[in-house]
Structure 1
Amino acid sequence: MVPDPALITALRKSQAAHKYSHGHALILAGGVGRGGAARLAARGALRMGAGLVTVACPPAALQENAARLDAIMLRPLRDGAALGAMLDDPRLTALCLGPGLGLGAREAVLVEAALQPRPARETVILDADALTLLAQSPDLRALLHPSCILTPHEGEFARLCPDLAAGLRDATTSDARAAIVTQAAQDLGAVVLLKGPLTVIAAPDGAVATSAARGDRAAPWLATAGSGDVLAGFITGLAARGVAPMQAAIWGAYLHLEAALDFGPGLIAEDLPERLPKIFRRLGV
């Protein structure tokens, strides 16, 4: 697969730039013992070149996360009001929530706060638990907008779009799957990235793309805990740097697969961000 030349341009950093020139990504983490997924996403966003990455977690989880984070910053997050205050910072350019977040009432309020309209709206990446909360609440789904990127696997997709689930299970061609994901994106009003050996990315305006991990590009070792969290982080890092939602999803999926192919068998999720420097050099970034 030949990379998009625009990706190489987007990944390059100017010698005159500073960290805020490349965006600030905020990753929400879960409670005590549930921070690993968010830390994986944060590492992915940082390796993708986001100028700053912050993990926000419940106060009780601060010590646990502080022991595991260095270049990634850390802030306490009590509730939806506190998140709203964080998001008022215009330097914040991307928000990722869902990995390890939790499914309680507090977390539903966080999703609601994340989706509120603001004058300078950041890209919002919703994965894992955030998708389950969306599936449970029509009111939350109604807040989705075109600057949202949803990254479900097939089970999460079935909960989000139960009317399309049977068609997806029966789809035997790439075109059929693409048509179903496109319908989902239009119904939800957001970019949808359906993960799998044939990853499909669709936007509300009807744009659609695929990333096939098949044949000589098969990477079955991506079926490991945390790889999806890293993908969410890759997309968040690109979005933080100003890449539009559809393109961030497409390029994130491409680089995620490239990282897996570069590492090979034995891959664990932690390995994926660490392959990016080599891939960037190969691309000529």
Structure 2
Amino acid sequence: MLLTSLATIAGFSILSKAYWNTFRPEYKQIDIEFQPTRKFNGELKILHLTDIHIEKLSVKPEKVLELVKDEEIDFIALTGDYLDRVQSIDRFIDFMKIIMKIPTKYGVYAVWGNHDWIVADHLPEIQKKLEALGVVVLSNETHVIEENDFGVPLQLIGIDDRYSGHADVEASFRNVTDEGIRIILTHDPLVVKDIEQSFDYLICGHFHSGQIYYPLPVHSLKMGLKPFKKYLCGLQEHEHGPYYISGGLGQTGANLRLGCRPEVTMHILKGSHSELKLKAKVVA
């Protein structure tokens, strides 16, 4: 009887902690020093939001605004999994209306995730509403920011979701040139297996840092990953360039996070004449 009571209390405490974690986003700053193929002036600051999963989101958009505060942001990158129900479209758009209040120099860019493709018939409607807010949706294509402060074109390469079978790397790189910095936005990090071109940086999400990381996120095995956190989030190195997997803002299934918290990420890229340097830190 005593053991049963203790087990019940322990289980309730763990679940309470896991639920409370969904309200407590981490604000991470990722510093990248890389050797660009062209002269690169200053530093590029990218605010990265992913895996919003509006149906199971505890983090309010106002909290995101509070975390970024007075940061000078060059552009915002949204890397998929915004919703998976038609009834959630308006709620997601309301969330984005608040996010669009964050000032940027060069705008907001988005790609789709596997959950977004669940409502495939409504993606044109969602895209139209996002574009009305000023979001540029990239679907296996490249957007070039020619006029900027860096002395070199910024090539934003949007690769659609690999997990759901919509990625087309060849099409995404079709108009990429050697004259600019190559930044890839995508949802599923495993797309790096299909990339044969060099890139300066890639940002993505998809794995939620394991979401319920206790004792190990064994579900990651079905995604082709070993069940260890270093494969599920954080800075990674690939033969064609560095990439970062964000833990994302929302959740799927149970609205719980154990062993990890939601994430808002600021990427700061600097050109360097030295070898590649990667550094990550939790700011708040």
Q: TM-score, normalised by structure 2?
A: 0.39
Q: Which structure has the highest strand share of the two?
A: 2
Larger radius of gyration: 2
Q: TM-score, normalised by structure 1?
A: 0.39
Q: Which structure has the highest helix share of the two?
A: 1
